[in-house]
Structure 1
Amino acid sequence: MNNVKEKSNFGFFGSKLYFILACLAGIPIYIAVKGYVESIQVYADDSVAFAATVFFIMGVFTGRYISQVWASGLKTFPKDVLSGLALLIVASIAWLFFHADFPLNGRTAINLLLFWLPFLLISIASGMMIKVMHTVTQNQLTEAKSQAAHSQSELNLLQSQLSPHFLFNTLNNLYGLSITDHQKIPPLLLKLSELLRYSVYDASEIYVPLKNEMAYIKNYIEFEKIRIGDRLVLSTDLEEMIDPEIKIAPMLLIVFIENAFKHSKNTASPEIFVDISLRTWGGSVLFSVRNSYGQDGEENNILNGSGGVGLPNVNKRLELLYPNAHELNVRSDELFYTVELQLKMK
């Protein structure tokens, strides 16, 4: 009931607005028409100018109505139609001035027709152009809002998957350690609580300060150092003095870091090599991670993102949050798997 009432009120105020705009538009139209009829020496020029102004405004609304019938579904500007209407308006105006200089002698009725017909065409064509342009603009705006809402919903879904994905992988690791190296469990659980606090509470925004994300990454690295122990050969180059105004999509980089630790531990080598770099330069965030990996077909799993939701998720988020503003390079050789990502600063 309220929606019906709101629509009714909107229709009332919309009609009132159109009436006010028509009155305001009628002023310059009246002045222009009066000047024209005076130039061709028409008797009762005030009455004729007023009648022509009303006639013109009615023609504009008629043109709007005609366009509304066939243009309601347009999402792009019909260039041929708009060009034709513009040409018709220009030709009709040119004809009015030509006819004013060369009227037909003794042909009053035909002269009236030759004046009012192009005048009618100008008003209808103008109304059609206005309605088509307004309709296309509104349809494009509605479609853009719909796409934005869809992208936002998709982004929220992708972001909601990150914490469960991280928790699932971490609990699997903790289960293995509880059997083989249970004394590491208490400090790992403490680090895990800090990580989950950030991922659940602090990472709910679309963009978060890069400084906060850096602290989260450092906590995660400490978590992995405890978990892996002496096997880990870690090299980090993490910028310390980061502008607090720089923002980044939350838990975007951690997917690559988590992947590096996850797959490097499966190498047959007694040592696990992980190299992480994160710096800002020239309006961009520069990130890279390199890790050793196994030779049992695991490279293919990493590259294709078949190891879980992480990599497909982050690729989709990059498309939604950094369209034409990111560059992701993935490569591998016989020993190392490398990810390099460049993001435009937010």
Structure 2
Amino acid sequence: MSIKISDKNREATKTGIYTVLTAATAVPVYFGIDTYLNTIGAQHDEALAVAGTIVFFGCVYIGRHLSTIWSARQREIPKNVLNGLAGAIAVCFVWLFIHADFQFRTFPGINLLLYWMPFVTIGLCTGALIKLFRMSTQKELEAARTQAAHSQSELFLLQSQLSPHFLFNTLNNLYGLSISQHEKIPPLILKLSDLLRYSVYEASETYVPLRDELTYIRNYIDFEQLRMGDRLELQTDIEQVGGPDIRIAPMLLIVFIENAFKHSRNTIDSKVFIEMRLKIWGNSILFYLRNSHNRSAQNDQHVEKHSGFGLANVRKRLQLLYPGQHYLVIDNEENTYTVNLRLNLR
């Protein structure tokens, strides 16, 4: 019952709006027609102007109705139809002024017809153009909303995959240490607790303060340093970010950092190095990461299977969150793996 009442109220409101718009537009239309009739020297111009105004708005509403019937079978409104209607209106306007100077003196009936036909056509085309343009705009907005909703749901799915992905990798690492270096497990579990708290609770937002993300990254680096010990040669130059105004998509950089530690750790070298830099430059966040690895010694299929998910996830999130506002270059050389990423500030 409430739905029916709501629909009736909506229709009444729409009718009221159309009535007000028609009344407001009728005045300039009347004066426009009256001016034209005076120009061509028509008799009883005021009465004709009133009749012309009534005919014009009648044609507008007929045109709207006909366009509604036609568009019901169309998935989208072709642009050439809108352009054709606008062109027809322009041609009819030009014809009305041309015909005023070139009339058939001996055929008054034809003259009258050549006045009213383009006038009626202008009314019909105007009504159809207004309706179809409005419907076209609504369809475009609806398509944009649908795409935005799809992108948002896809983004939520991608973000929901981050925590399980990180947890899977970390538990694998802890399992290895529990066998060979079990004394490191207690402090690592404490670090893991902090990391998971952020990834589960804080990283659910679309954008987070960069300073919070950097705190998370530093905790992760501490976690890896505890694991790798003296084997790791780490160089970091991360700019201090004070306020919460600078924001970034959460868990975006950590995928590259995880891969850097993983690729370095999986080499047979006694020493591995990782170099990491992050700067705010102008309107951009600049991130640079370089790590040692041995491409020929690694099983490419294994790396693709376990590392490719994270990188594919990041690339997709960059497309959704930073469309046309990011620059990513990855160089996978024989002994080094380098990431250069530029993000526009949010």
TM-score, normalised to structure 2's length? 0.91
After TM superposition, give the deviation of residue 128 of structure 1 in Å.
Answer: 2.1
Structure 1 residues 171 and 5: alpha-carbon distance in aligned structure 2, compared to 1, 3 A threshold: farther
Q: Which moved more, 1:60-69 or 1:290-299?
A: 290-299
Q: What SS is found at the alignment partner of 1:307? A: helix
Alpha-carbon offset, residue 301 of structure 1: 5.4
2:237 is matched with: 237
The verdict on how the C-alpha distance between 1:68 and 1:226 changes in structure 2, with shifts beyond 3 A counting, is same
CA shift in 2, pair 1:241/1:105, >3 Å: closer
Q: CA deviation at 1:89?
A: 2.0
- Aligned residue pairs total 344
| Alpha-carbon distance between aligned partners in 2 of 1:298 and 1:256, rounded to the nearest angstrom | 19
SS in 1 for 2:307: coil
Give the conservation status (yes or no) of the 8 Å contact 1:329–1:339: yes
The residue type paired with residue 291 of structure 2 is: N
- C-alpha contact 1:305 1:311 (8 A) present in aligned 2: no
2:252 aligned counterpart, secondary structure: coil
Correspondence list, 1:32-47, <5 A:
32-47=32-47
**Shift, 1:113, TM fit:** 1.9
Where in structure 2 are there 5+ consecutive unaligned residues? none
CA distance in structure 2 between the aligned counterparts of 1:276 and 1:11, rounded to whole angstroms: 62
The equivalent of 2:259 in structure 1 is 259
Task: Tell me how far 1:334 sits from its aligned partner.
Answer: 2.4
SS of 1:309's partner is: helix
Q: Secondary structure at the match of 2:237?
A: strand
Structure 1: runs of 5 or more not aligned: none
How much has 1:41 moved relative to structure 2? 4.1
Residues 104-123 of structure 1 show CA distances to partners (whole Å, capped at 9, x for unaligned) of 44644333322211110111
> Quick check: 1:305–1:312 contact (8 Å CA) kept in 2?
no
- Give the percent of matched residue pairs that are identical in Structure 1 and Structure 2: 50
Q: Which moved more, 1:248-257 or 1:66-75?
A: 66-75
Q: Are 2:339 and 1:339 equivalent residues in the alignment?
A: yes
Q: Distance in 1 between matches of 2:7 and 2:235?
A: 63
Would the alpha carbon gap of residues 76 and 345 (structure 1) be closer, same or farther in structure 2, given more than 3 Å must change? farther
What corresponds to 2:57 in structure 1?
Answer: 57
Aligned-residue Cα RMSD (Å) equals: 2.2
Assess, with a 3 A threshold, how the Cα gap between structure 1 residues 176 and 341 changes in structure 2: closer, same or farther: same
In the TM superposition, 1:164-175 aligns within 5 A as 164-175=164-175
1:296: which partner in 2?
297
**Deviation at residue 307 of structure 1 after TM alignment:** 2.7
* 1:49-70 deviation digits (Å, cap 9, x = unpaired): 1121111011112222222233
Query: What is the CA deviation profile of residues 229-265 of structure 1, one whole-angstrom value per residue up to 9, with x for unaligned ones?
Result: 1211111111124553111100100011011112211
SS at match of 1:157: helix
Given that 1:63 and 1:128 are in contact with CA atoms closer than 8 Å, whether structure 2 keeps it comes out as: yes
The 8 Å contact of residues 29 and 53 in structure 1, kept in 2 or not, is answered as: yes
Separation (CA, whole Å) in 2 of partners of 1:33 and 1:301? 79
Q: CA deviation at 1:162?
A: 0.6
Q: Which amino acid letter does the alignment assign opposite residue 10 of structure 2?
A: F
Aligned-partner SS, 2:174: helix
- Specify the alignment match of 1:20 in structure 2: 20
Residue deviations 1:112-143, cap 9 Å, x none? 32221111011112122222222221111110
Change in 2 beyond 3 A, CA 1:76/1:117: closer
Change in CA separation of 1:200 and 1:49 when aligned onto 2, cut-off 3 Å = same
Q: Matched residues in 2 for 1:56 and 1:275: separation? A: 74
Could you tell me the TM-score, scaled by structure 1's length? 0.91
Distance 1:90 1:259 in 2: 63
Distance 1:259 1:4 in 2: 58
1:190 aligned onto 2:215: no
Asked if the contact 1:275–1:289 (Cα under 8 Å) also holds between the matched residues in 2, the reply is yes
